Structure 1
Amino acid sequence: MIKTAVILAAGFGRRLGEKTQDLPKGLLSFDGIPLIQHSIEKLIQARIENIVLGTGYLHEAYENFAAQYPQITCVPISHYQSSGSMNTLYQLNKHIHEDFLLLESDLLYEKQALKILLTHERPNVILASGFTHSGDEVYIET
């Protein structure tokens, strides 16, 4: 059973402009709750015990937020300004000792998505959304 989640949260959120000047993207509110909190609450409900949060931009804001959750370990990422999310994941590898869920700080998803991932019979599973027309699509070849 997977007990660890890794959340990538080091980026600037540049496409959001001034909205992320004083607050990292994952801490922007949706329905009055920070985006990342929506995810963390679902992870805890799904019995995820360890949440490793890779932070960079406005790291202190995430540290302050994470203080309310004993399940969260905040890890500051070096060189986040000039690297991408895979560098964040690489730097987190010494904090990950088992299978894990990989998420980004600004994801919104239904509880059912976690259930599908956590109960799937295959050892490696990815859950992707359909085409969103956001301009930053990721394509998966199967």
Structure 2
Amino acid sequence: VMISTVVVVVLTHNLALGVFVGVLLAAMFFANKIGRYMAVKSHVVPVEGIREGEREYKVVGQVFFASSEQFVQSFDFKEVLERVTIDVSDAHFWDITAVAALDKVVLKFRREGAEVNLVGMNEASATIVDTFGVHDKPEKVEQMLNAH
């Protein structure tokens, strides 16, 4: 970051442009680094009388634009389950990309026939999910499906 900042300043003779490039690169490296600290762990919760049972996913870390693809890929949508519980008590959703990833996960599980329960969402994450999410708004899901 420092070397690129110096190179930009020397080549352009513009300190502001050098600072801008340095801040931009530092932000990109930080987002990449923090995006790797998100994990999804799961275990099966046996339900008596139901062969498929229930799987509980535990999300830990920061979910935002840099980790949203990893978030979606952490779930097994092909496993036949009666219920899926997604525990987000140790996670935080930062932006609309993260909300879109959550919507994608919930809607995919529902399309596969599973009942999905979200538990443990903190207040800040709940606010952004309530504002931009569609998985809990049937009329928005219908609009989205009819638009394509």
TM value normalised by structure 2: 0.29
> Radius of gyration: which is bigger?
2
State the structure with bigger RCO (CA 8 A, min sep 6), 1 or 2: 1
TM value normalised by structure 1: 0.30
Which of the two has greater helix per residue?
2
